[in-house]
Amino acid sequence: MTAAAAEDLGFVPLRVAAVDPLTSDSAAITFELPEELQARFAFRPGQHLTLRRVADGQDLRRTYSVCTSAAGGPLRVAVKRLEGGVFSTWVLDALRPGDVLEVLPPAGRFGPAVDPARARKYGLVAAGSGITPVLSIAWTVLDVEPESEVVLVYGNRTSGDVMFLEELADLKDRFPDRLQVLHVLSREEQESELLSGRIDRARLQRLLDTLLTDVDEWYLCGPFGMVTDGRQTLLDAGVDPSAVHVELFHADAPPPRVRTVPAGSADTAVVTVVLHGRTTAVSVPKDGGSVLDAVLAVRADAPFACKGGVCGTCRARCVSGSVEMDVNYALEPDELAAGVVLTCQSHPTSDEVRLEFL
Ligand SMILES: Cc1cc2nc3c(=O)[nH]c(=O)nc-3n(C[C@H](O)[C@H](O)[C@H](O)COP(=O)(O)OP(=O)(O)OC[C@H]3O[C@@H](n4cnc5c(N)ncnc54)[C@H](O)[C@@H]3O)c2cc1C
Ligand code: FES
């Protein structure tokens, strides 16, 4: 794949300025951002980048959250090694300063719209590499909202696994009255019993009763179980669902669903997509693969990364007709209400569908 073709897909070649180890199995990757790309790569707290690498004819795309302050921080992500993981292993073992990676501009809606006039208390709950977007949120809020407070609950196995230990300590030094960091360690005893163990429902409930009181907005990021249990604990405690925001990095694929075509309905739908200003129509079997896969067969420029319903890169607005999604871990309720769908999870349920990629 040539650089020009990659740019046709929306990717921009960015040079790696630095690779800084954070722990024995994670590193921060900082990109050089020439003046002319700064507006295109301006990010909001909690947003992510999709990185792409073509290796052995395989188009590998993975999403990584920006982990610096959106108020002037460098463009930096952090990658944690997943044992046997194709992309993370390559990044940690082979990526060097000076290398060039293909990168999609920032995307995603996990994170507040910061406003200097706001005075809020943010409750942030992260585990492992889930700290990356949460660090950006904490840092940006503290930089931009002088009256707001942040309480961060950060779970790891041991203190040696804690990513951004230094950055968190520096932030604490800069904002001693407005930032509280609670390290919860599952395999290391701490003085406080409350902070020794996993961030499960019982522990979060106890934290809610003691240290996490009067929170206005919640942001949770980590493994599937922690995030879904955490969200449910907050809802059970009476927190308004619109104040609870979650981000997942991975979800196991659901068992394949058997789809049937209702009697009297056509077997295939005509799906018309508007993408990068061009309109294309494809036939999509109603009982077959996803709309995204059908579109990719004729439009290689259709955006995607995880194909698992978590990253949101493949978002499109359904402007007519209807589709059904297998799973959705990426879209917020207001996006669903506005007709936004994940094309990697969508299957047509009407004979004609029109989708506009976002
Ligand atoms: C919105 C978003 C933001 C993300 N931000 C970050 C970030 O800031 N830092 C970071 O390190 N990662 C982040 N990720 C995860 C990242 O995109 C990759 O999924 C991760 O690096 C694993 O890729 P891999 O190629 O190494 O593993 P793969 O080769 O893709 O996976 C190997 C195996 O592990 C499973 N698997 C994949 N991911 C996970 C997981 N997270 N937990 C458990 N099993 C898994 C796969 O199903 C597969 O069986 C983010 C993901 C999303 C969707
Ligand atoms: S490609 Fe990640 S949600 Fe569809």
User: Could you list the mean pLDDT of each consecutive 10-residue stretch along the chain, which spans 358 residues?
Assistant: 66 97 98 97 98 94 98 97 97 98 96 97 98 98 98 97 97 98 95 94 95 95 96 96 96 84 86 96 94 97 96 97 96 94 97 97
- Please give the span between the terminal C-alpha atoms of the chain, in angstroms, as a whole number: 24
CA of 312 from ligand 2 middle (Å) equals 5
313 lines ligand 2 (CB under 6 A): yes
CA of 294 from ligand 2 middle (Å) equals 14
Contact 277, 250 (CB under 8 A): no
Contact 32, 17 (CB under 8 A): yes
CA of 81 from ligand 1 middle (Å) equals 9
CA of 56 from ligand 2 middle (Å) equals 23
For residue 223, the ligand 1 atom closest to its alpha carbon is: 42
Estimate the share of the chain in helix, then strand, then coil, as percent rounded to the nearest 5.
Answer: 25, 35, 40
86 lines ligand 1 (CB under 6 A): yes
Reduce the DSSP state of residue 220 to 3 states and report it.
strand
The residue count of the chain comes to: 358
Of 75, 79, 106, nearest to 94 by C-alpha is 79
309 lines ligand 2 (CB under 6 A): yes
Side chain identity at residue 256, one-letter code: P
For residue 252, the ligand 1 atom closest to its alpha carbon is: 47
Q: Return the pLDDT at 4.
A: 52
* Domains of the chain, earliest start first: 3-107 (2.40.30.10), 121-248 (3.40.50.80), 268-357 (3.10.20.30)
Q: Return the pLDDT at 9.
A: 83
For residue 343, the ligand 2 atom closest to its alpha carbon is: 4
311 lines ligand 1 (CB under 6 A): yes
d(CA 120, CA 43): 21
